[in-house]
Protein backbone atom coordinates (compact mmCIF):
# COMPACT_ATOMS: atom_id res chain seq x y z
CA UNK A 1 0.00 0.00 0.00
CA UNK A 2 2.81 2.41 0.88
CA UNK A 3 4.62 1.67 -2.41
CA UNK A 4 1.57 2.76 -4.38
CA UNK A 5 1.55 6.07 -2.49
CA UNK A 6 5.25 6.59 -3.22
CA UNK A 7 4.69 5.99 -6.93
CA UNK A 8 1.78 8.43 -7.04
CA UNK A 9 3.76 11.31 -5.53
CA UNK A 10 5.30 13.68 -8.03
CA UNK A 11 9.03 14.27 -7.99
CA UNK A 12 9.82 17.81 -6.98
CA UNK A 13 12.47 20.02 -8.52
CA UNK A 14 14.85 19.84 -5.57
CA UNK A 15 14.62 16.04 -5.21
CA UNK A 16 17.26 15.76 -7.93
CA UNK A 17 20.76 16.53 -6.55
CA UNK A 18 21.82 17.98 -9.94
CA UNK A 19 19.16 20.67 -9.64
CA UNK A 20 20.35 21.56 -6.14
CA UNK A 21 23.95 21.86 -7.37
CA UNK A 22 22.81 24.04 -10.28
CA UNK A 23 20.92 26.31 -7.92
CA UNK A 24 23.94 26.62 -5.63
CA UNK A 25 26.20 27.46 -8.59
CA UNK A 26 23.74 30.16 -9.68
CA UNK A 27 23.50 31.48 -6.12
CA UNK A 28 27.26 31.63 -5.58
CA UNK A 29 27.76 33.23 -8.99
CA UNK A 30 25.25 35.96 -8.10
CA UNK A 31 26.93 36.51 -4.73
CA UNK A 32 30.37 36.78 -6.33
CA UNK A 33 29.03 39.13 -9.01
CA UNK A 34 27.35 41.42 -6.54
CA UNK A 35 30.38 41.42 -4.27
CA UNK A 36 32.64 42.30 -7.21
CA UNK A 37 30.40 45.28 -7.99
CA UNK A 38 31.46 46.65 -4.61
CA UNK A 39 34.79 47.64 -6.24
CA UNK A 40 33.07 49.95 -8.71
CA UNK A 41 30.28 51.43 -6.59
CA UNK A 42 31.00 54.79 -4.97
CA UNK A 43 29.81 54.81 -1.38
CA UNK A 44 28.48 57.84 0.44
CA UNK A 45 29.43 56.62 3.89
CA UNK A 46 28.77 58.35 7.18
CA UNK A 47 31.27 56.22 9.09
CA UNK A 48 34.77 55.17 8.00
CA UNK A 49 34.10 51.42 8.35
CA UNK A 50 31.28 51.63 5.81
CA UNK A 51 33.85 52.28 3.09
CA UNK A 52 35.56 48.91 3.59
CA UNK A 53 35.16 46.21 0.95
CA UNK A 54 32.19 43.93 1.55
CA UNK A 55 31.00 45.75 4.67
CA UNK A 56 27.31 45.52 3.82
CA UNK A 57 27.57 41.82 2.91
CA UNK A 58 29.24 41.01 6.23
CA UNK A 59 26.83 43.27 8.13
CA UNK A 60 23.81 41.58 6.53
CA UNK A 61 25.15 38.09 7.23
CA UNK A 62 25.93 38.88 10.87
CA UNK A 63 22.50 40.50 11.33
CA UNK A 64 20.79 37.41 9.89
CA UNK A 65 22.74 35.06 12.17
CA UNK A 66 21.95 37.23 15.21
CA UNK A 67 18.22 37.24 14.33
CA UNK A 68 18.15 33.46 14.04
CA UNK A 69 20.00 32.99 17.34
CA UNK A 70 17.74 35.46 19.16
CA UNK A 71 14.65 33.75 17.78
CA UNK A 72 15.91 30.31 18.74
CA UNK A 73 17.33 30.90 22.20
CA UNK A 74 15.40 33.91 23.52
CA UNK A 75 12.02 34.19 21.80
CA UNK A 76 11.24 30.49 21.39
CA UNK A 77 11.44 29.69 25.12
CA UNK A 78 9.05 32.60 25.78
CA UNK A 79 6.29 31.37 23.49
CA UNK A 80 6.68 27.59 23.61
CA UNK A 81 3.92 25.59 25.26
CA UNK A 82 4.16 22.31 27.10
CA UNK A 83 3.44 19.18 25.13
CA UNK A 84 0.14 18.55 26.94
CA UNK A 85 -1.06 22.17 26.81
CA UNK A 86 -4.29 21.40 24.92
CA UNK A 87 -5.23 18.28 26.91
- On the question of pLDDT at 10 being above 90, the answer is no
Whether the per-residue pLDDT at 5 is higher than 60: the answer is no
In this prediction, residue 60 carries a pLDDT of: 93
Residue 2 pLDDT more than 60?
no
Q: Is the pLDDT higher at 42 or at 18? A: 18
pLDDT of 87 reads: 77
pLDDT at 8: 62
Taking only the tens place, the pLDDT of each residue in 41-65 is 888 899 999 999 989 999 999 999 9
Q: Which of 42, 3, 6 is nearest to 50 (CA)?
A: 42
Amino acid sequence: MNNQKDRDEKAHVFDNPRNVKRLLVIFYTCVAGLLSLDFFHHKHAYFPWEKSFGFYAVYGFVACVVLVLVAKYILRPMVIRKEDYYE
